[in-house]
Amino acid sequence: MSSVTCQGCSASWDAALVPCCPRCLVAAWMATERFVRPKHDPAELPGRSERYRSVLTQDFVARQHSYLEYAATHGTWYYDTFYEMYVHLTPSPLGRSPGVGIPPGKVMPEHALDSLLIVEADSASEAHAFAVDATQHAAQVQAGEFEELNGCAAPGCDNLSVPGGAHCVTHTTHEAPGGP
């Protein structure tokens, strides 16, 4: 437990569990254009695709802010070693399935997906959401396709490092520009 206070919005949170301010993260995601892209938009159904794809639920689109508030406080950051970007996974956001899967060549969903994945989750311009299967994601973590965030490099600090950094939000703030 390490409570920190956001210098931007004054919210407090536990930086040992969540690396950066959840309130600011939700604000950034909500402000991102094309956060729900056509490929994953339920408004585009029915629609055929030659490749497997996932589509978000109408409920997710209608209550996106509530889902993202839940995700920002309950989800986990990973580094995607294949696509070389940060992603953010939330199993059962608001206790629901946030999306459905459409098999290749089909026009309508055939199974529920239990987790919300936000890719390029630290990008103010590129972050976007889709739905995945938690069991499959866990297998990908086992296989090394996703890596959890490291702890802060500062001695004795239990906080998570911020995405893309070696230190937690507190020690990043105190880092001297240009390093040692």
62 near Zn ion, rule: CB under 5 A = no
For residues 65 and 89, give the distance between their C-alpha atoms in angstroms, rounded to a whole number. 16
For residues 159 and 18, give the distance between their C-alpha atoms in angstroms, rounded to a whole number. 8
Smallest distance from Zn ion to CB 158, Å: 8
Of 88 and 171, which has the nearer Cβ to Zn ion?
Answer: 171
Angle at 5 between CA 129 and CA 180, to 5 degrees: 90
Smallest distance from Zn ion to CB 68, Å: 14
Binding residue for Zn ion, selected from 57, 90, 97, 159, defined by CB under 5 A = 159
Of 5 and 123, which has the nearer Cβ to Zn ion?
Answer: 5
For residues 115 and 134, give the distance between their C-alpha atoms in angstroms, rounded to a whole number. 6
Number of residues that bind Zn ion (CB under 5 A): 13
Binding residue for Zn ion, selected from 2, 5, 6, 112, defined by CB under 5 A = 6
Of 4 and 129, which has the nearer Cβ to Zn ion?
Answer: 4
Binding residue for Zn ion, selected from 17, 141, 154, 166, defined by CB under 5 A = 154
23 near Zn ion, rule: CB under 5 A = yes
21 near Zn ion, rule: CB under 5 A = yes
27 near Zn ion, rule: CB under 5 A = no
Dihedral Cα 141, 136, 160, 22, nearest 10 deg: 160
Question: Cβ of 3: how many Cβ atoms within 10 Å?
Answer: 9
Ramachandran region of residue 76, left (φ > 0), alpha (ψ -120 to 50) or beta?
beta
Helix, strand or coil, per DSSP, at residue 64: helix
Which residues contact Zn ion by CB under 5 A? Answer: 6, 8-9, 11, 21, 23-24, 152, 154, 157, 159, 168, 171
